[in-house]
Amino acid sequence: MSNTSPKAPGLVPASVLLAAERPQWQERLARFVADFSVDDLGDALKDQTRLVLLDCIGAMAAGMQEPENTALAARIARRGTGDVAAIGAGVRLRGDDAAFVNGVASTALELDEGNSYARGHPGVHVLPAALATALANGRSGKDLLSAFVMGYEVAARIGAACRLRPSVHPHGTWGTVGAAVATALLEGAGKQEIVTTINVAATMSVGASLKAMLEGATARNSYCGLSNRNGMAAWDLVASGFSGERDCVASVYDGILGEGFTGAGMDDDLGNRFEIARNYFKRHAACRFTHAALDVVAGLVARHDMLAASDIASIEIETYAMAAQLDAPRPHNVLAARFSLPFAVATTLVNGKAAVEAFREPHLSDETILSLADRVTLREDPELTALLPAKRPARVTIRLTDGSELAGETFTNRGDAVDPFTPQEVREKFADLASPVWGAAHAARVLAAVDDLDKAADLKGFNCLLAEPAIKDR
């Protein structure tokens, strides 16, 4: 047998690959996950978990009202219904279909919570799969919360430990592992099964293009749905006896979708630092990268009343690299508008805030807004980029036609863990999103059910609340 090493760049002999040992963090993290109960959290973290879950449901219910999401739920229902609520659609679907549709809806309005350290959105990558699995297995509300926290934990830790390629969209990548872990826990998986699930799920990540969000390709919203469905499928494989690589996490996130993965910190501070406590909530209905500049603009508007677009000569924004990338001033559809920093700033100045409606027609074709967006210039400041992920900075200078200037800066975003919304503000956001879907009374019932979720013996009643048809469909 020849022992000549392969000559092609990047090829490693099988003997070398197979000699690698499984990293120890997988065993330690899986043991922690398998033994965890939401009862291990203090009251403050339990409250935080319920707030994150509530916020995800609000984003799903409101996002489901987008025409393409309503049509998707109805189309899938024609193939067969089931027991799990397609939240805000008024139909019940088979578990994996519901997880897919709810995941798709969750990102449609760019109001889903996220985690700056993971550079993505763990909550909506985990909750749809966890809801479907918990309901199918007759699990309690406490079981759901426990699995949700751990799915979030694993997903966010992987996201923080990896550096995705610049061309890869983060949705549908490491979130798949979180969905799989939550699913496995709700079906009674032990430590070794969780290790295998992590490695099987990693290879089922979506390899999606970042350009989709810049072009306004709404297929981009499917990535989170695919992550939930694929996470459930990963557990199906493991439960059926399929195996995974020893360290597929590194294979995928340090060579295929990513350019670097640091496993050394994956099990740091287990039980002391919970990633769900380091999350952020969003109020601006636009890409998180726009929020620093929008926070500054909102502050300037508040201090100087409404600024007339005709009085503004130019707007200069210095910010970090990913935000500066969002420089197309004239988006052609709603999704592209949410990923245009010039448009987001312009529509905020004209409308007073970056609410959902500020990114729809007639604003997309409003020449006052578009002309103002044309006057916005972006510049990356490498020193600001270097502050990531702990800070999300921006400096904004508005030059007026009379020669005067208005300026401001921020190094954090409202809603970040270091500058959090109050629980009441998160609840108000939920009401703002859910009340137009179900009416204020039913939205209040959902909120109350989330508050008492750890007391629920099963999730049938909760699922019934989420299955309520939208007002427009009654």
pLDDT value at residue 6? 58
Q: Are residues 194 and 330 in the same domain?
A: no
Q: Are residues 177 and 297 in the same domain?
A: no
Q: Is there a domain that residue 444 lies in? A: no
CB atoms within 10 A of CB 21: 7
Q: Are residues 197 and 226 in the same domain?
A: yes
* DSSP for residue 256: I
Q: Are residues 151 and 273 in the same domain?
A: yes
Q: Are 139 and 459 in contact (CB under 8 A)?
A: yes
Owning domain of residue 302? 288-410
**Rounded to 5°, angle at Cα 284 from 283 and 287:** 120
* DSSP for residue 319: E
Q: Are residues 133 and 253 in the same domain?
A: yes
Q: Is there a domain that residue 439 lies in? A: no
Pairwise CA distance, residues 268 & 409, whole Å:
33
Q: Are residues 276 and 335 in the same domain?
A: no
Mean pLDDT of the chain: 95
> Helix, strand, coil % (nearest 5) of the chain?
55, 10, 30
Q: Are residues 145 and 234 in the same domain?
A: yes
- Of 119, 160, 151, 28, whose CA–CA distance to 323 is shortest? 119
Q: What's the pTM?
A: 0.95
pLDDT value at residue 390? 87
Q: Are residues 397 and 271 in the same domain?
A: no
Q: Are residues 234 and 91 in the same domain?
A: yes
Low-confidence ranges of the chain (pLDDT < 50): 1
Q: Is there a domain that residue 216 lies in? A: yes
Q: Is there a domain that residue 226 lies in? A: yes
Q: Is there a domain that residue 450 lies in? A: no
Q: Is there a domain that residue 147 lies in? A: yes
466 sits in the region (left: phi over 0; alpha: psi -120 to 50; else beta) called alpha
Q: Are residues 148 and 293 in the same domain?
A: no
Q: Is there a domain that residue 299 lies in? A: yes
Q: Are residues 315 and 332 in the same domain?
A: yes
Joined tokens for residue 314: 């130019």
Q: Is there a domain that residue 348 lies in? A: yes
Tell me which of 235, 255, 280 is where a domain ends. Answer: 280
Sign of CA dihedral 103, 100, 447, 469: positive
Tell me which of 210, 245, 280 is where a domain ends. Answer: 280
Instruction: List, in sequence order, every beta strand (DSSP E) within 104-147.
Output: 114-115
Instruction: Please report, for the domain that includes residue 345, its CATH number.
Output: 3.30.1330.120
Pairing of strands 279-280, 114-115: antiparallel
Pairwise CA distance, residues 340 & 363, whole Å:
13
Pairwise CA distance, residues 439 & 158, whole Å:
38
- The residue written with tokens 């390899």 in the block is 207
The domain total for the chain is: 2
Tell me which of 260, 280, 300 is where a domain ends. Answer: 280
For helices 122-136 and 95-106, the axis angle rounded to 10 degrees is 160
- Of 113, 132, 68, whose CA–CA distance to 416 is shortest? 113
Q: Are residues 81 and 166 in the same domain?
A: yes
pLDDT tens for each residue of 129-187: 999 999 999 999 999 999 999 999 999 999 999 999 999 999 999 999 999 999 999 99
Pairwise CA distance, residues 96 & 4, whole Å:
47
pLDDT tens for each residue of 316-354: 999 999 999 999 999 999 999 999 999 999 999 999 999
pLDDT value at residue 306? 66
Q: Are 158 and 266 in contact (CB under 8 A)?
A: yes
* DSSP for residue 469: P
Single-letter amino acid, residue 231: G
206-241: b (≥16 Cβ within 10 Å) or e? bebebebbbbbbbebbbbbbbbbbbbbbbbebbbee
pLDDT value at residue 1? 47
Q: What is the separation of C-alpha 466 from the centre of its chain, rounded to a whole number of angstroms?
A: 20
Coil, strand or helix at 47? helix
Instruction: Please report, for the domain that includes residue 31, its CATH number.
Output: 1.10.4100.10
